[in-house]
Structure 1
């Protein structure tokens, strides 16, 4: 088994950002341009200590409005919205995953990508279809999430032609039920649930808000988005990754590359051991940095 480890942060990137060289957000946010794209963003602007415009990233309304502006200005995605209480993803980090996945795929040919757990935001499918014209199958275990993505696609007919939404009827399975026996994808992508329980997820939300606000968490309303299936699952990220690895080994021809985000670095070694035991021929770890956050993509094939 070949194991390759690469690090984000190449010549031409904004210093300290660690974003992919093709990431449109390397230079930060152009708030005047974003406000022209989404005028409602002006109501959330404030002046940071540096004297530059910013928003309160602890305010989910401001973050959602920023996302609308970013998706509209940079990717031509209109009508993006999420129901209250659902995960509101940071766009630059999601864009990074899409770019690094594109680096693994053949150039000049239409690629088919399987998006596992697309969520109500549909962010990876939307970005992949917009940036690289991928043909995507986007799956989720929750009908309401898929219904919301379907509403977004109604505003974006070109993207709708490239994205097929499929319900995973069995929440304990990943590839079964959503991919036919004779289907093949160039890659799959996934952002697995991070936590192992509701209590663990709540504690994580408190830490996040504490870091964003610098205030005691009791003074902050815990209204950051995230449904149960978006934030936690029994056994947490490691158990989910093990299940994904096991299913991929049972269907090695399903994807040329199987990939997933791995938020907890401690999960890499046991995942590599499992892949080696199951006969993976190549494993890659692509490290990414977004601000102060470290994460990585685990990619493997058989």
Structure 2
């Protein structure tokens, strides 16, 4: 297994520098009330405030990616933009290994497993690389909201989100028998229970210097299916790896974020048992937060290179 060690954000990531709050507020004036000068004399906002975080996201998407319409149903997951787009840049490099260069355009089809109401990977991937996306989710509200975001931003021809009616299935019922995808993405639920998710939010608030009293407010929101599932991240990864065998020839690379490093050994074992021909672990870092992408393919190097000439658009 090859492990790539990266420090900081990807070189193509637009968010290398601190946020330019003046430019963000100029593009999205509703951000202005949330911005203040801290004790170090720099502009910032309260990252423990869900309204502030959501408005920041709206401003970032508008300023840097031309996403003019972005909102969420109350209580749904509000993702950090720099980290999400970093995932896309890293896997774009993975595709470039067999394509000869970073592939762009609608001929590159990507499946986002658990697209969420925020639709963040399809929106960013469509804007950064022109890719075409299918998003899946077990929550019909998320599917409706994601499709609305796609159409509101003129991307209905590039983004189509589908409801997964069987929560135990990941690919079956979503991937058609003749469909082919260059890549799958996933940000799996990483907690095993609501109690565990709440404790994680408490730690986050403490790290942000906020006292915790009673049930914490999740500053990034999140519904049950977005934050936790039975068995947590490890169980979800095991299911995804096992079920990926069913569509092994229909996808060039499968991938998932892995937030807990201790889940990698079991995932490696499962991939070996599944017969994956290539496995990668790609490290990512944003400030003090470290995570990684687990990627695997059932195709050998020659077949991965042939993929681009034989793909069905």
**So what's the TM-score if we normalise by structure 1?**
0.93
Supply the distance in 2 between the matched residues of 1:101 and 1:154 (Cα, whole angstroms).
25
Alignment gaps of 5+ in structure 1: 10-17
Relative to structure 1, is the Cα distance of residues 265 and 86 closer, same or farther in structure 2, using a 3 angstrom cutoff? Answer: same
Matching of residue 77 in structure 1 with residue 67 in structure 2: yes
Q: Which residue of 2 aligns with 1:98?
A: 88
SS in 2 for 1:115: strand
Alignment gaps of 5+ in structure 2: 299-313
SS in 2 for 1:85: coil
Supply the distance in 2 between the matched residues of 1:195 and 1:47 (Cα, whole angstroms).
35
Deviation readout 1:228-275 (Å, 9 max, x if unpaired): 000000000000000000011232112100000000000011101111
Matching of residue 115 in structure 1 with residue 112 in structure 2: yes
Q: Which residue of 2 aligns with 1:128?
A: 125
Supply the distance in 1 between the matched residues of 2:194 and 2:217 (Cα, whole angstroms).
13
Supply the distance in 2 between the matched residues of 1:137 and 1:25 (Cα, whole angstroms).
26
Task: Count how many residue pairs are aligned between Structure 1 and Structure 2.
Answer: 290
Supply the distance in 2 between the matched residues of 1:256 and 1:238 (Cα, whole angstroms).
23
Q: Is the 2:201–2:216 contact (alpha carbons within 8 Å) kept by the matching residues of 1?
A: no
**What pairs up with 1:227-266 in 2 under 5 angstroms?**
227-266=223-262
Supply the distance in 1 between the matched residues of 2:82 and 2:58 (Cα, whole angstroms).
13
Q: Is the 1:55–1:62 contact (alpha carbons within 8 Å) kept by the matching residues of 2?
A: yes
Q: Is the 1:209–1:220 contact (alpha carbons within 8 Å) kept by the matching residues of 2?
A: no
Matching of residue 294 in structure 1 with residue 305 in structure 2: no
Supply the distance in 2 between the matched residues of 1:36 and 1:219 (Cα, whole angstroms).
37
Deviation at 1:98, TM superposition (A): 0.8
Q: Which runs of 4+ in 1 moved over 6 A?
A: none
Deviation readout 1:208-247 (Å, 9 max, x if unpaired): 11111x2331178524311000000000000000000001
Q: Is the 1:31–1:53 contact (alpha carbons within 8 Å) kept by the matching residues of 2?
A: yes
Q: Which residue of 2 aligns with 1:4?
A: 2
SS in 2 for 1:217: coil
Relative to structure 1, is the Cα distance of residues 169 and 220 closer, same or farther in structure 2, using a 3 angstrom cutoff? Answer: closer
Aligned counterpart for 1:86 among listed residues 62, 76, 85: 76
Q: Which residue of 2 aligns with 1:12?
A: none
Aligned counterpart for 1:139 among listed residues 118, 136, 140: 136
Aligned counterpart for 1:203 among listed residues 199, 221, 226: 199
Matching of residue 192 in structure 1 with residue 182 in structure 2: no
Deviation at 1:70, TM superposition (A): 0.2
Q: Is the 1:248–1:254 contact (alpha carbons within 8 Å) kept by the matching residues of 2?
A: no
Supply the distance in 1 between the matched residues of 2:157 and 2:287 (Cα, whole angstroms).
34
Q: Is the 1:40–1:65 contact (alpha carbons within 8 Å) kept by the matching residues of 2?
A: yes
Supply the distance in 2 between the matched residues of 1:176 and 1:203 (Cα, whole angstroms).
33
Deviation at 1:104, TM superposition (A): 1.4
Aligned counterpart for 1:37 among listed residues 21, 27, 31: 27
Deviation at 1:52, TM superposition (A): 1.0
**So what's the TM-score if we normalise by structure 2?**
0.90
Supply the distance in 2 between the matched residues of 1:103 and 1:86 (Cα, whole angstroms).
30
SS in 1 for 2:189: coil
